[in-house]
Structures are given as structure tokens and as C-alpha cells.
Amino acid sequence: MMLTIRNLTVAVEGRRILDGLDLDIAAGEVHALMGPNGAGKSTLANVLAGREGYEVLEGEALLDGQDLLTMEPEARAQAGLFLSFQHPVEIPGVSNLQFLRTALDCLRKARGEAPLDSAALLRAAREAAQVLGLPADFLKRGVNEGFSGGEKKRNEILQMLLLEPRFVILDEPDSGLDVDALKLVAAGVNRLRRPDRAFLIITHYPRILEYVRPDRVHVLHGGRIARSGEAELAHQIEAGGYAAVLEGSVA
């Protein structure tokens, strides 16, 4: 297993959001995590990435056998974890290219690799920008500075393409995107699908799953995975809503 989560129980400001969650994701797989608003989908993403403000009461999360929950956020990233943020923050004055270079330097240094040379990085970044339909001057602009919602989401995918993580969490990569942008984001994800890489796509809507076909779909409810199934489960949710698929579930 690439990612193994056992009995994960997490509170935010004293309130239990995740309650004994189990989840296994094997290398090469794409899993979708769905669920109604407030079910705790983003909490799971943030806890795995190491954001402050979440209290882990019980359980563990292993990435390639490493205990994620005891690691600093940057160490998790260096271990191959990438979170595509639902709301990426702006860093004024720091160009996308400079940001990418710094991140790559740090990641490569942690892996004991020499820094990527500037020309190679620039080439790779330009190509990735093109794939995502981003304008040529995009790399010079400040990180997310004055970007539209769609540009921010595509910038997350651009970073993912260049940083080449092993395990990717996409937190609502589709929210606020029109169908053209959605296709570009999906194409970015599909481009990176490989037998030694895994994805967890968090989403409200089955729409993106039309373009990125998941191996497994999970429904988060009551603080744990209440229902799991094949891609077909997403269609059932679309047709009948969460109530229909959760009927008779443990929650």
C-alpha cells in the first residue's frame, strides 16, 4: 500500500470531524473522496499535509510506511506528498518560476540530488504552462497574485506537474471551473498517472470524474468512509444524491 490510514480520529476546536477513518490507496490508483458539505473531506487533506489547528486524537497515516503525522509539513512534501489547495494563497512579488525553483531545489536537496539547471526548469515550466492553457507570461507573475479562480487551480496543477510528487491530494480541483478549464485540469492529472504514483481526488461533484476515471470512489459521512465502490458509485450519487447511496450505511 502506498497510503494506509487506520482509525484516524481528528478534532477541530474540540469537535470530532474524523472518527475512526480507514483508507488504503495502492500505488497506481486514483481514488475519489466524495461527501456532502462539512463531512470532513478537507480536514482529511489538511491533516495529511500537516496544517496547524487539527488535533489528532487517535490513529495513524502511513505514506510508503513512513508515519506522516509526526513529520513537519515540508518533510511530508519531501517524502512525496503534494496537496493541490482548494484555496491557494497569494505570495505577492514572488514569481511562479522563482517559487518553483525554490521548491524544486528544496525537494531535490532532500532527495540528495543536484539542483535542476535553470534552462531545463524553464523549458519544463513553459511546456507545462502550455499544456494547461496558461499564457506565456504566466511564469513571471507573482504566485497566485491577482489570478482568477481558474488560474489558481491550474497553477496548482502546474506545480504538481513540475514537482512530480508520489502521492497527490487534490482538494476540490474542480470548484469554480468552467468545462474547458476542467478538461485542462483533468488532462494535467491524467498526464501524471503512473504505476508508481497515486491520487486522492476530493470533490463534491462527479463531474471531474468523467475526465479522470477513478479506480475507487469513497463517500465520507459521519467522520469515516461510509461507502466505497467502483466508478459507478459516482453516477449513483449524481442520480440520487448522497441520501440514496448512504441509505442503510453504518453512519
Partner 1 sequence: MSTAELDAALSQAYEAGFVTDIETETLPPGLDEKVIEYISAKKNEPDFLRQWRLDAFRRWQTMREPRWAHVHYEPIDYQGLIYYAAPKRRSETEIDPKLLETYEKLGVPVHERAALAGVAVDAVFDSVSVLTTFKDKLAEAGVIFCPISEAVQKYPELVQKYLGSVVPPGDNFFAALNSAVFSDGSFVYVPKGVRCPLELSTYFRINTARTGQFERTLIIADEGSYVSYLEGCTAPMRDEHQLHAAVVELIALEGAEIRYSTVQNWYPGDEEGRGGVYNFVTKRGLCAGRGAKISWTQVETGSAITWKYPSVILKGDDSVGEFYSVALTRGRQQADTGTKMIHLGRNTRSTIVSKGIAAGHSQNAYRGLVRINPGASGARNYTQCDSLLIGPHCGAHTFPYIESRNPRAIVEHEASTSRVSEEQLFYCRQRGIDPERAVALIVGGFCKDVFQKLPLEFAVEAGKLLEVSLEGSVG
Strand partners, 168: 82, 199
Residue 102 Cβ, how far from partner 1 at the closest point, in Å?
6
| Residue 20, amino acid | G
CB 86 within 8 Å of CB 174: no
When binding is defined by CB under 8 A, the residue of 32, 159, 234, 245 that contacts partner 1 is: 159
Q: Which is nearer to partner 1, 73 or 240 (CB)?
A: 73
**Which parts of 108-137 interact with partner 1 (CB under 8 A)?**
110
Work out whether 99 is an interface residue with partner 1 (CB under 8 A): yes
Burial of 69 (0-12, 13-18, 19+ CB in 10 A): middle
Query: Which one of 2-10, 106-114, 127-135, 202-210 is the stretch in contact with partner 1 (CB under 8 A)?
Result: 106-114
Within 57-216, where are the H helices?
73-78, 96-110, 118-131, 149-163, 179-192
Are the C-beta atoms of residues 78 and 107 closer than 8 Å to each other?
yes
Q: Does 168 bind partner 1 (CB under 8 A)?
A: no
Closer residue to partner 1, CB minimum distance, 110 or 179: 110
Strand pairing partners for 62? 4, 67
Nearest residue to 147 via CA among 164, 165, 160, 129: 129
x/- letters, 47..76, toward partner 1 (CB under 8 A): --xxxx-------------------xxx-x
Q: Which one among 91, 116, 124, 231 touches partner 1, defined by CB under 8 A?
A: 91
Q: Using CA atoms, how far apart are residues 151 and 176, in angstroms rounded to an integer?
A: 10
**Binding partner 1 by CB under 8 A: which of 89, 114, 119, 120?**
89
* Binding-site ranges for partner 1 (CB under 8 A): 49-52, 72-74, 76-78, 82-83, 85, 88-89, 91-94, 98-99, 102-103, 106-107, 110, 142-143, 159, 163
